[in-house]
């Protein structure tokens, strides 16, 4: 009997964070959402831009930043930086997969489902609100790109924050949905671009660069000294012109 009671207590403790979000007991979160939604109602001139940015514009902008970092690394023949960019893209895919796992476990109702009189600027299904998939993908881009290229990683961070705000502005997420998504995604991005993983993938890319696929990785041939420098340094991979 004691064992069964203890097991139930541990199970309840494990479920407490999920219930905390699912039951919408985060008062400050709902209040902040209400303030942002009220702002949306009084800024009709921004509706078209914010809706487009929340739906596809933000992720397109982040993808363009990611593509620039890849082209920059490819132009210099920097295989370790190319590896970091590839791992960043992989992190964004993993973040999306994690979202599909976490969302049903939390099963938090969308604000337009749980709250009355919400201004909804985008049609959306009533699936789980936490965490935001857009924010998780954006966070993965930011986490990885900050390792690969600090300047463009900072640009990506600004774009990601605007995307997170836009998702709340259009009425499809609470602030904690996008904040949690950014943090989880950034963690995935940072972990996947750890130096040991970048070096390991760069070593594989050295072999691939000897095949007809080399133009995808290097615009010019890297000499032995440059290749050793690329694969051996421990600092962040920052393209020239920083």
What's the predicted TM-score (pTM) here?
0.81
- 191/2: higher pLDDT: 191
Supply 144's token pair.
């990885």
Give the pLDDT confidence of 3-45 residue by residue, as tens digits.
Answer: 444 434 444 444 444 544 554 456 888 999 999 999 999 999 9
Q: What is the CATH number of domain 31-220?
A: 1.20.144
Burial of 119 (0-12, 13-18, 19+ CB in 10 A): middle
Instruction: Provide the residue ranges of all domains of the chain, joining segments of one domain with +.
Output: 31-220
Handedness of CA 110, 103, 32, 53 (dihedral sign): negative
Rg (CA), the chain: 21
When pLDDT is cut at 50, 70 and 90, the band that residue 239 belongs to is very low
Q: What is the structure's pLDDT at 237?
A: 54
Give yes or no for residue 120 having a pLDDT over 80: yes
Q: To the nearest whole percent, how much of the chain has pLDDT over 90?
A: 53
């Amino acid at each position: 009997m004691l064992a069964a009671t203890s097991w139930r207590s541990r199970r309840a403790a494990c479920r407490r964070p999920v219930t905390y979000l699912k039951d919408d007991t985060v008062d400050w979160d709902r209040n902040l959402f209400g303030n942002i939604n009220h702002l949306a109602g009084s800024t009709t001139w921004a509706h078209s831009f914010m809706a487009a940015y929340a739906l596809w514009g933000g992720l397109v902008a982040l993808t363009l930043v990611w593509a620039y970092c890849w082209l920059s690394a490819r132009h210099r023949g920097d295989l370790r930086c190319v590896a970091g960019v590839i791992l960043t893209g992989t992190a964004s895919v993993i973040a999306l997969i994690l979202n599909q796992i976490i969302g049903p476990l939390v099963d938090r109702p969308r604000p337009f489902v749980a709250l009355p009189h919400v201004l909804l600027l985008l049609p959306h299904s009533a699936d789980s609100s936490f965490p935001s998939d857009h924010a998780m993908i954006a966070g993965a881009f930011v986490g990885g790109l900050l390792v690969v290229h600090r300047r463009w990683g900072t640009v990506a961070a600004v774009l990601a924050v605007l995307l997170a705000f836009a998702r709340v502005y259009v009425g499809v997420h609470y602030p904690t949905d996008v904040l949690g998504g950014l943090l989880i995604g950034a963690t995935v991005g940072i972990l996947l671009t750890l130096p040991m993983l970048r070096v390991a993938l760069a070593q594989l890319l050295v072999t691939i660069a000897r095949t007809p696929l080399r133009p995808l990785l290097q615009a010019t041939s890297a000499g032995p000294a440059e290749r050793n420098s690329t694969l051996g340094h421990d600092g962040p991979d920052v393209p020239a012109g920083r």
